[in-house]
A and B are shown apart, each in its own frame.
Chain A
Amino acid sequence: MHLPYSGAMCGILGLFNKTGIRLPAETFAAGLERLKLRGPDDSGIWRDEFAVLGHRRLAIVDLTAAGHQPMESLDRRYIIVFNGEIYNHEELRPRLKPRGEWRGTSDTETLLEAYGAWGVRCLDRLNGMFAFAIWDRFERTWFVARDRMGVKPLYYFDKDGRFGFGSRPGAVNVLLNGGTLDIDSEALRMYLELGYIPAPLSFHRDIRKLPAGHYLTVDGRGARCVRYWDYRPIKPDGSLDARPEGELVEELDALVQSAVKVRLMSDVPLGAFLSGGVDSALVAAAMKGAGVARPRTFTIGFNEKAFDEGSAAAAAAGRLGLDHVHETLDVNSLLELLPTYIQEYDEPFADSSAFPTMAVARLARRHVTVALSGDGADELFGGYHYYPLIERLSRVLGWRRGAKHAAARLFSALPGHRTKLLAGALESRDNVALFHFLRSVSKDYKPLLIDDDSRASADSESLFSQFACSFAMDLSAAETAMRLDAGLTLPDLFLQKVDVATMAFSLEARCPMTDYRLVEWSMRLPMRYKLRNGESKYLLKKVLRKYLPAEAVYRPKMGFGVPLAEWLRGPLRDWARELVHDDTLMSRLPLDKLRVREMLRQQADGKRESHPLVWSLLMLLCFMQAHGVRRALPVIAYREVA
């Protein structure tokens, strides 16, 4: 009999004031209310003179008083609020000697006692997805931590002797300044360059996102942010090259199995997303290997063949013997989810694959409460299409400046959107800049910001370069790109997307590929086991070949895309036009209005394909609209406008 998890599917919030809490109780409650969707079934607030902690909980498991949060330690020194799961908490319990009897069986209680016993070093022993905060009422200090790969989000502020934190920036902002929006100019610039806001920034001035693998200690002198886990300096291990490939396949398979197995423990129905691609199929295969007789899997397919992976998923499910649930939609029906999208992503967020993610989460939630997803494998094992491209282009970066510039000018003179992008890529100074160019939404478009603060702030390439400064020496261009994706894009874009999209439908997502043992192993894996002769995820596919025939493994990657460009020319055209012509709304942002409108017009008329940047702008405007409370969120009835 395993122990249940009580920390999962939650929203947490807290505040500290070294001179004593003066925030009205109703304001804190209002902040907590912002987290209601993350935990609609139960809530709790704990307070003393200097600190207040709040928790919202979704009823998945253990709704007894023993699982209630905020939770006090047995000696009543520590109080915790916790969002996430500690997968190995059963292993940890025997090593802990709580001062008294265990009151319940939850991982929250294990975590609390682990901190009491091992202090900050408890993080080294945890395997899980988590964001938690522990208040030490004797020392009047906080210990706040986020999991290694950033599956669970955590935002905080540290200002004028006050420290606040929470699961979402909107809730934290209520504690900071009553919810008034004050935009961080550096974050705005990064958002317009990337389509998301990388840690440690957040859209709200003075609110920070705790980076993955970090903890905070907070006392009367303020907050200190410390990294406790780092894959960046791990060197590829040349000795793996000397081992037979079959051994590596078995080792990787065992690691995936283990990562999946620890994530299977649940008191509630559990399933997995299945896209038809390598990662989710491997997760489903590992579920079977771990003893689930007929894992339940979920896929959405589309009537439009260009976006449909439903048949591939169904074929994989048949071969793997899965209990497969498939729903076919009209791709435009995803637009029904736009209000949910705008409501739930409470800082600007422009990844349109959130729509199909929300759709599959909605489908899965009708059948299960927990779903496993394959997120993380592309970044660790070389799945994205641009990795081989970066590897090839990086050779050109070594050319003399004049030759490089001449090649770029040649490409920019050729017709076609892609050649112009290639020309822009060739102007990159180094591998990090090249990756940044290919990953950005702004590409080579002229800056849209017109205020001095935003333009003077550091750009996102500088942040990427900072992150890459601690990479092991002598990595190839593609390895550099993968590590940047794993440390920045994965936690702050893709895992954020999954967290919010699933929480919106009260579904818990678990991502076995982000298991730290798998991450560390992948960093040691030499490049030729990731990309080989243009083949991506070389070794991972070899593992999947154990379970599926070659035609199911070696099929083109599709991605979880939506027809954004077509939407902007069709069903969303009028809505988008109305947004960018809203002078009141536009006046709240330091944007070059004319350029924004021209860009939308060119996109809508099909003259220039700039939909990632246009979509980012539209999502920014939607966010401003929603938080300006000027009018209700748009409701798109796709059938009427299509």
Chain B
Amino acid sequence: MARGRRRPRVLFLFTELYANGGIQRFNQTILEACGRLEIECRVLSLNDSPASVEDHRTGPAITVAGFSGSRRRFTLAAAATLLRRDYDRVLIGHVNLLTLFIGILSVVRYRPPQTLLIAHGIEVWSGLGRLRRFALSRTDRILCVSNYTKQRILEQAPTLAAERLVIFPNALADTWARAAPAAPTRTLPERFILSVTRLERGDRYKGIASVIEAFSMLADRSLEYLVVGHGNDLVFLEAIARRCGVADRVHFVRGVSDSELITLYERCEAFVLPSGKEGFGIVFLEAMFFGAPVIAADEKGAKDVVRDGDTGLTVRFGDTIGIKEAIERLASIPALRARLCAAGRATVIEGGPFTFDRFAERCAVNLGMDEPISA
């Protein structure tokens, strides 16, 4: 940290911190970076419970409060915190909280030195109504996790100055880099492809149904398919596996710990997630870090992470023939597989664009470590 500057104080307003999901992982990573940078953080998390907050450790300069989904208590706490007027930055973790925040500001008649918004993906790609566009206009900086997200915001709010939108890609959390694989608690198939995702009905854009169809077309019947995740769409996906005649080789597994997941990444033949609406796709980084070749869809935010023929293979969303052929290519061309794995991993290890170090650097810039802090 630059000599003579005090540590910035940042207020974080998050929807959720301690749960599985891309946004939650992002939030954890940014706090991890703040911990490294010794930024003083106060986190208000709408949906976390006090108990789950208790269960998780944070750095000494970070305090987290959970509100178990109570918007009223969350709002009051945010207003009370803002009234103290001792934060240099306020970072809003989700656009859903932005209008609420702007409303609070108008009530407490205070404007913090700088307001930042994290724009992840699907939540800002469409439906930015007048109110949200107004709220965006009052935001000093919008940190977009991908180029696509930036492009979609500007398309909907063309009056926003483009320079206020900053590309702020995700990164592999430092905890992943330090984590060690654990022996699996279940018997793993000899050879398998892997997907890691939520399995909610609203998440069908993840492309799991297409992967099951593609998987059923493979000639290699010694291969199995592991889908790590759970949700209310499981029955639907199981019916597809049955209809495709591969129910005995498609396994839906839940309750997988992070360390067990590392083992799965390390052992899989390919990590396949041809999702049509990834804001960024942090799971791709995880897979790359642990040496899995990645197959993704050439859609939206994932395009920033998986470059076809370079850091992975990409297919059109829904292209079952393309997915099948990509899996076959990886299995039949070891040199291609090795090259993609190496290039993928290079993006998340030293010097790569998606390392935690680079992420922390971006945090430092955007959270005021490299500029004078106003009193």
Chain A residues within CB distance 8 Å of chain B: 200, 217, 221, 224-230, 232-233, 235, 429, 458, 462-463, 465-466, 469-473
Contact = CB atoms under 8 A, between A and B. Distances in A.
Interface stretch (B162-170, B204-212, B286-294): B204-212
A233 B236 contact: no
B213 interface: yes
B317 A473 contact: yes
Contacts, number: 63
B316 A233 contact: yes
Interface residues of B, number: 29
B320 A224 contact: no
A226 B244 CA distance: 10
Contacts of B201: 429
B84 to A, nearest CB: 36
Nearest to B300: A473
B219 A469 contact: no
A471 B209 CA distance: 11
A470 B240 CA distance: 13
A473 B210 CA distance: 13
Contacts of B276: 473
B32 interface: no
Nearest to A219: B219
B108 interface: no
A494 B85 CA distance: 69
Nearest to A473: B276
Nearest to B238: A458
A158 to B, nearest CB: 9
A233 B210 CA distance: 11
22 contacts: A200-B243, A221-B221, A226-B324, A227-B217, A227-B320, A227-B321, A228-B321, A230-B320, A233-B317, A235-B316, A462-B239, A463-B243, A465-B236, A466-B236, A466-B239, A469-B207, A469-B210, A470-B210, A472-B318, A473-B276, A473-B277, A473-B318
B317 A466 contact: no
A177 to B, nearest CB: 20
A217 B217 CA distance: 10
Interface of B: 201, 204-205, 207, 209-210, 213, 216-217, 219, 221, 236, 239-240, 242-245, 276-277, 299, 316-322, 324
Contact of A469 (B204, B244, B299, B321): B204
Given A463-B243, A466-B209, 4 more contacts: A224-B219, A466-B243, A471-B318, A472-B318
Contacts of A470: 209-210, 213, 318-320
B318 A224 contact: no
Given A224-B219, A227-B217, A233-B319, A473 B205 contact: yes
Contacts of B221: 221
Contacts of A469: 204, 207, 209-210, 318
A225 B318 contact: no
Contacts of A200: 243
B237 to A, nearest CB: 9
Contact of B299 (A221, A226, A473): A473
A472 B318 CA distance: 6
Nearest to A432: B204
Contacts of B207: 469
- Tell which of A235, A469, A471, A473 has the most Cβ of chain B within 10 Å: A469
The 6 A-B pairs of least Cβ separation, nearest first, read: A470-B318, A469-B209, A233-B318, A473-B276, A233-B316, A233-B319
A458 B243 contact: yes
- Tell which of A228, A233, A429 has the most Cβ of chain B within 10 Å: A233
A225 B216 contact: yes
Contacts of A217: 219
A429 B210 CA distance: 21
A224 B320 CA distance: 15
A540 to B, nearest CB: 26
Contacts of A233: 316-319, 322
B243 A224 contact: no
Contacts of A471: 318
A278 to B, nearest CB: 30
B245 A225 contact: yes
Contact of B217 (A221, A225, A232): A225
A432 B276 CA distance: 17
A224 B217 contact: yes
A469 B240 CA distance: 11
Contacts of B299: 473
A462 B319 contact: no
Contacts of B243: 200, 458, 463, 466
